[in-house]
Amino acid sequence: MTATVIPDAHEADLAQQTSWLIRRCAQLRPWMQQARPDVIHACVSFMKDMEALHLEGARQVQACQQVSEALQGLGCPSLIWSSHQSTQVGPWIGCAPQIGWFILHARQSDGHWLFETMQGVSRRADWPTGARVAALPLSAGWRQEGSARALVMQVLRESRSGLLYVALCSITANLLLLATSLYSMQVYDRVIPSHGLSTLVTLTVGVLLAITLELVIKLARSTLMDHNIRAMDTRLSRQIFERLLKVRLDQFPPSVGTLSSQLRSYEMIRSFISSLALYTLVDAPFAVVFLAVMVMIGGSMVAGVAGAFLVLSLAVGLLARTRIETHTRESMAASNRKLGLLVETVEGAERIKSQGSGWTFLNRWNSLSEQGIAEDAKVRHSSESATYWAGYLQQVSYVMLIAVGAWIATTSTDLTSGGLIACSIISGRVLAPIGMLPGLTVQWANAKSALDNLERMFLLRGDNHGVEQPVTREHIRGHLLVQDLSFAYGQGPKVLSLPQWSVSPGERVAVLGLVGSGKSTLLKLLGGYYAPVSGRVTLDGLDLQHISRDSLSEHIGYLPQDVRLFSGSLRDNLVSGLVGVSDEVLLQACADGGLMDLIRTHPRGLDLPIGEGGSGVSGGQRQAVALTRLLLGRPRVWLLDEPTASMDDGAEIQAMNAIRKNMRSNDTLVLVTHKPRLLQLVQRVMVLGPQGVVLDGPRDQVLQRLQQGPRAAADPGIDSAAPIQEAA
């Protein structure tokens, strides 16, 4: 490699360098998330206020901290900054006063440092003056490994130190529980026979201190457990929701309500984890410790009574486990289906009323409710029965222990009355964890069912499935190519089959065809939202499934036919996912998209509230909002699916003018429409039929053939000729 001089950092703006650095870090470490624009913006917003590239002293430390925080947003652990290369594991990121941000890849055999800056790769013989560097970790420390179980185990490993402190508190509290039993033994055996009042005072003060310390430790344990639960809850919810966002659109199950209920079930997993930590790790093993203490105080016969009933109680609890698990699984399934039906009813309330089909949904609701109630009753009955048996065995154990102890005390000197009282108190501690077993069994059944539900969601294929490190494209030309493509929903029949089809950069194509011919599906395949069953779709020569989802979202603009808005304000829906959009640019886009009348007439303007799904605005206004958001995104590839289906003539003309105005000459357009007027936006028309492409060519020639060619016009894959004639 030829040695070159690193250009002065003043040649590039600091914000641009920061953006470049974060993107390169995401490329160098495949476990990082792709560098989203909002993460980059959060980092560079601080940089813009600094003097250009005077990265020295306190400002340099601030800049490094800001970059560290931005990289943490991508999943990177905290970076350790140093004034020299502190580890052999690279690469390293760094900054220097006269260089700006750089990436240090290695020190070569001839002693030169291999640097990479925004201007390119170069070599340097000396270490940059005033540089600060930090090594990029080889792994993020905690990342889910493709399954819900792996995620839960990883969260447990991350929380092990906090759970260990909780366990230590529990161990100490359990040891202090012995104070009351030993106090009783000493009072009955020594204080009362000898009338030792001073000893009584000393023992009483001591046991009160032990009880107070036990209270303090339990309060501390509760605080620590709350902290651990919040941490686990945050990690689980973030990772699960992130996994949901990465699920490819063609993988989503048909019932959104059922899916949402399954996602919420992670709370049951977290609850069981906290109970399991206390029960399995501490309380249950301590029963053996208490039995050992009983052996020392009362002998093996007395301890044997408590041990026998411990085993018997454990057997009763385990026998109820299978029954509880079965009914809990059925109850949770019914609950999930109920929530799914509820969501469908709320979303389709208008259609239900118009069809008069409310009684049908009521019957389905009642059926699911009855099933859930019946299964809940069975779970409750099994759990309560196990609890009653555990209580019964505890009482029988107490009676038998007193009887055996009294017999020993009256027939020998091996056991005193104080020792018998102490053993009776300790025996309650032995069987107390077993009393928790029925409730823990219910939690276990809920957690197991919840984990199975989450596992099904984690099995859904996500964006870039099977690609370890998706490619990030900074610039695209917009060349789309379809090869040997076939697609089907689930196990259903093929809905689209295309042997070969392409769109050149800057080309504008309309896709026509009958309802169900696969037009909308084709757009989703071209946008990478669906993955073909066979064949592939490429963008500038790269398979879409190999390009990162963030990169595709940045360069490909998709406008669906059925527009759904999110609850919030109009402004929120317009700038969602965008950064650095000024009010002037926003208002200009609203003017182009036809939203200014809505903004002027509403008293809250851009802050007008929008309900879930877009309630509060008309269908045409929802499409105008989606189109305006597309204009703000400035994509290079435009995929429009019936963009004016809900608009009147005036709004449609305005939308067409907005598309013409904002689409650059080298932008690519693929338009699905049944409105003849929109064909003015394209130069090429492709007619799609059940067996693939029926006609494809220049717009005027295709329309003329549809008019004049009876064979083409009669083809079942072509729409009726009437609207085509009107377009001609």
**Mean pLDDT for the stretch of residues 415-439:** 78
Q: Partners of 106 in the beta sheet?
A: 114
Model pLDDT, residue 257:
62
Structure confidence at residue 566 (pLDDT):
85
- Half-sphere exposure of residue 405, counting CA atoms within 13 Å on the CB side? 28
- Residue 130: phi, psi to the nearest 5? 75, 20
Quote the CA–CA distance of 621 and 466 in Å, as a whole number: 39
Percent of the chain whose pLDDT exceeds 90: 15
pLDDT band at residue 265 using 50, 70 and 90 as cut-offs: low
Q: What is the DSSP string of 99-142?
A: TEEEEEEEE-TTS-EEEEETTEEEEESSPPTT-EEEEPPSS-S-
pLDDT in tens, 51-86: 444 556 677 777 787 788 777 777 677 777 887 765
Least confident residue range of 30-34, 116-120, 623-627: 30-34
The residues, ordered by sequence, that sit 6+ positions from 617 with a Cβ below 8 Å of its Cβ are 565, 598, 610, 625
- How does residue 255 score in pLDDT terms, banded at 50, 70 and 90? low
Task: Work out whether the CA dihedral 359, 361, 364, 370 comes out positive or negative.
Answer: negative
Of residues 43 and 242, more confidently modeled: 242
Q: Is the pLDDT of residue 201 over 60?
A: yes
- Give the C-alpha separation, 507 to 479, whole Å: 9
Please count the other Cβ atoms lying within 10 Å of the Cβ belonging to residue 133.
Answer: 26
pLDDT band at 353 (very low <50, low <70, confident <90, very high): confident
Give the mean model confidence (pLDDT) for residues 687-715: 76
pLDDT reported for residue 335: 76
Q: Is the per-residue pLDDT at 48 higher than 70?
A: no
Side-chain-side CA neighbours of 271 within 13 Å: the count stands at 16
pLDDT of residue 256: 64
Q: What is the dihedral of CA 492, 495, 501, 504, to 10 degrees?
A: -100
pLDDT of residue 661: 92
Whether residue 70 contacts residue 22, with contact meaning beta carbons closer than 8 Å, is answered with yes
Q: What is the reported pLDDT for 429?
A: 77
**For residue 28, with 0-12 CB atoms within 10 Å meaning exposed, 13-18 middle and 19 or more buried, which class applies?**
middle
Residue-level pLDDT at 264: 67
Which range, 4-8, 114-118, 305-309, 502-506, is most confident?
A: 502-506
Cis upstream peptide for 91 (omega within 30°)? yes
Q: What would the two tokens of residue 86 be?
A: 């502190």
Q: In what order do the strands lie in the sheet with 542-543?
A: 494-503, 480-488, 534-539, 542-543
d(CA 538, CA 534): 13
Structure tokens at 574: 């317009």
Task: Give mean pLDDT, residues 406-420.
Answer: 83
On the question of pLDDT at 642 being above 80, the answer is yes
Work out the pLDDT band at 653, boundaries 50, 70, 90: very high
Give the HSE-up count for residue 654: Cα atoms under 13 Å, Cβ half-sphere. Answer: 20
CA distance 590 to 597: 9
- pLDDT on residue 716: 40
pLDDT confidence band for 280 (50 / 70 / 90): low
Q: Of 21-35, 198-212, 482-496, which gets the smallest average pLDDT?
A: 21-35
Find the range with the poorest average confidence among 95-109, 295-309, 332-346, 407-421.
Answer: 332-346
Is pLDDT at 279 greater than 50 in this prediction? yes
Q: Rounded to whole angstroms, how far apart are CA atoms 173 and 126?
A: 61
Which is more confidently placed, 325 or 479? Answer: 479
Give the pLDDT of residue 558. 93
Cα distances (Å, whole numbers) of residue 71 to 22, 182, 331 = 7, 57, 43
Query: Which phi and psi (to 5°) does residue 696 adopt?
Result: -155, 125
Quickly state the pLDDT bin for 2 (edges 50, 70, 90). Answer: very low
In the block, which residue shows the tokens 């829906």? 573
More confident residue, 183 or 443: 183
Can you give the pLDDT at residue 406?
Answer: 87
Burial class (CB in 10 A: 0-12, 13-18, 19+), 479: middle
- Residue of 88 and 658 predicted with greater confidence: 658
- Convert the pLDDT of each residue in 330-351 to its tens digit: 777 777 777 777 777 877 777 7
Q: How confident is the model at residue 144 (pLDDT cuts 50, 70, 90)?
A: very low
* Lowest-pLDDT choice from 76-85, 159-168, 559-568, 609-618: 76-85
pLDDT at residue 44 greater than cutoff 60: no
Separation between Cα atoms, residue 515 and residue 536, nearest integer Å: 24
* Residue 458 or residue 77, greater confidence: 458
What pLDDT does 712 receive?
Answer: 47
Beta bridge partners of 543: 538
Task: Find the helix or strand (DSSP H, E) in which 511 lies.
Answer: strand 508-513
**Average pLDDT, stretch 458-477?**
82
Q: Does residue 139 carry a pLDDT above 80?
A: no
**Which segment of 227-231, 271-275, 410-414, 466-470 scores lowest on mean pLDDT?**
271-275
**Tokens 């009933």 belong to which residue?**
309
Is pLDDT above 50 for 721? Answer: no
Hey, what domains does the chain have and what are their CATH numbers?
A: 9-135 (3.90.70), 148-458 (1.20.1560.10), 480-727 (3.40.50.300)
Q: What sign does the dihedral 472-672-694-534 (CA atoms) show?
A: positive
CA-to-CA distance for 206 and 200, rounded, in angstroms? 10
| Pairwise pLDDT comparison (6 vs 579), residue with the higher score | 579
Under DSSP, the state recorded for 556 is E
> For residue 684, what is the enclosing H or E element?
strand 684-689
8 A C-beta contact, residue 7 and residue 119 = yes
Given a cut of 60, whether residue 45 has pLDDT beyond it is no
- Strands 508-513 and 120-124 turn out to be unpaired
Residue 515 has pLDDT above 80, yes or no: yes
* Region of poorest pLDDT, from 193-207, 433-447, 476-490: 433-447
Q: Retrieve residue 464's tokens.
A: 């870039």
DSSP string for 259-311: HHHHHHTHHHHHHHHHHHHHIIIIIHHHHHHHHHHHHHHH-HHHHHHHHHHHH
**Which structure tokens are listed for 105?**
């890849």
295 confidence band (pLDDT: 50, 70, 90): confident
User: Residue 635 has what pLDDT?
Assistant: 92
What local confidence, expressed as pLDDT, does residue 639 receive? 95
Residue 26's pLDDT band, with cuts at 50, 70 and 90, is confident
The residues pairing with 94 across neighbouring beta strands, listed in sequence order, are 102, 133
pLDDT tens by residue, 661-698: 999 989 999 999 988 899 999 999 999 887 788 889 99
d(CA 103, CA 122): 11
Mean pLDDT of the chain: 79
For residue 108, give both structure tokens: 């070569």
Q: How confident is the model at residue 40 (pLDDT cuts 50, 70, 90)?
A: low
Over residues 196-213, mean pLDDT: 88
Is residue 526 pLDDT above 90, yes or no? yes
How much of the chain exceeds pLDDT 70, in percent?
A: 84
